[in-house]
Amino acid sequence: MIQPWCVSNRFDRAAKRLADRHYNRQTPDSPQFAPPGSCVVFLTADAKAFWITSYPKTEFTHHKWAGAWICSAFRSEGAGQATELITAALAATRAHYGDPPDLGLVTFLDARKVEPILTRGVPTFGRTWVKAGFRFVGKTKRGLLAFQILPRDMPSAIPALPRGPSGLPIFDGVAA
């Protein structure tokens, strides 16, 4: 797998533009777009997709997957196949954090704010996540759909690329 992700941060302006268009963005005028606490932010080299993995402390978690890594946000605006981007982000997350927690990684979808895929005329949510190895595991108290991938189903670690001062990825010490 070729790693499409570059290391970013919670204040990255290019990632913020994508984050501001994500449905779960609470304060679009804030320069910071990631949740508090430990997180890693990835951005594709073309700045058409971003991903946030957060690792909240269990005592601050209010769902039944406390202790899992969380995909806090993922948005792609034509950066490639979403399933491949998700898989690569999981690999980059493993490279950043090391061995995943026993509960792996979970993500939550708001069925009222995402487009369903029609499967035999029936709206289906989370198909891209399922294709990336996740499984539907329930709902939160607020009704969000929960999808989880366990460590055994995650790809091996592949680090995200470093970004140079221009924002472009660095390959073998040279900015692209």
Residues 113, 33 contacting (CB under 8 angstroms): no
pLDDT exceeds 70 at position 162: yes
Residues 118 and 124: beta-carbon distance below 8 Å: yes
Query: What does the pLDDT look like over 13-38, one tens digit per residue?
Result: 888 888 886 656 566 677 777 888 88
Domain count, the chain: 1
- Residue 47 resides in a domain: yes
Is residue 93 in some structural domain?
yes
Q: What is the DSSP letter of 161?
A: B
Q: Is residue 168 part of a domain?
A: yes
In a domain, 116, yes or no: no
How many whole angstroms separate alpha carbon 55 and alpha carbon 170?
26
Task: Look at residue 54 and tell me if it is in a domain.
Answer: yes
Domain of residue 14, residue span = 5-102+155-175
Is 148 within a domain? Answer: no
* Residue 86 counted as domain residue: yes
More confident: 97 or 167: 97
- Is residue 124 assigned to a domain? no
